[in-house]
Amino acid sequence: MITLLFFGRLRELLDCQRLPLEITSAVDVASLRQQLADKGPHWQEFLSLQHALVAVNQTMAQEQTMINDGDEVAFFPPVTGG
């Protein structure tokens, strides 16, 4: 089981803040994006690379970063603090 988190505009568009997800084996970020995109048109559009950065266990991740059981994976738009 991994935990997916969504923030900012992405959280509102997907109408989802937190989503537990079963994974049978380790996957990379790119495969996870694809798996989520299959959930519907909104997910497809808003989980694209341009719209959603990704952090694995609170550290910024790349498309090839591996995700293991128990990990926390957060998707969010480019940051706008300060």
Partner 1 sequence: MIKVCTEDFDLGLLTNELRQKSPQSGAIVNFVGLVRDINHGQSVSKLFLEHYPAMTEKVLTDICSRAKARFSVDHIDVIHRVGELDLNSQIVYVGVSAMHRGDAFNCCEYVMDYLKSEAPFWKKESQHGQQVWLDANPTDVAAKARWEQ
Stretch binding partner 1 (CB under 8 A), from 7-15, 19-27, 38-46, 61-69? 7-15
Q: Does 78 bind partner 1 (CB under 8 A)?
A: yes
| Per CB under 8 A, 80 contacts partner 1 | yes
Instruction: Report d(CA 44, CA 21) in Å as an integer.
Output: 17
- Helix and strand element counts for the chain (H, E): 3, 7
Q: How many CA atoms lie within 13 A of 81 on its CB side?
A: 3
| Interface ranges with partner 1 (CB under 8 A) | 5, 7-9, 11-12, 55, 58-60, 72, 74, 76-82
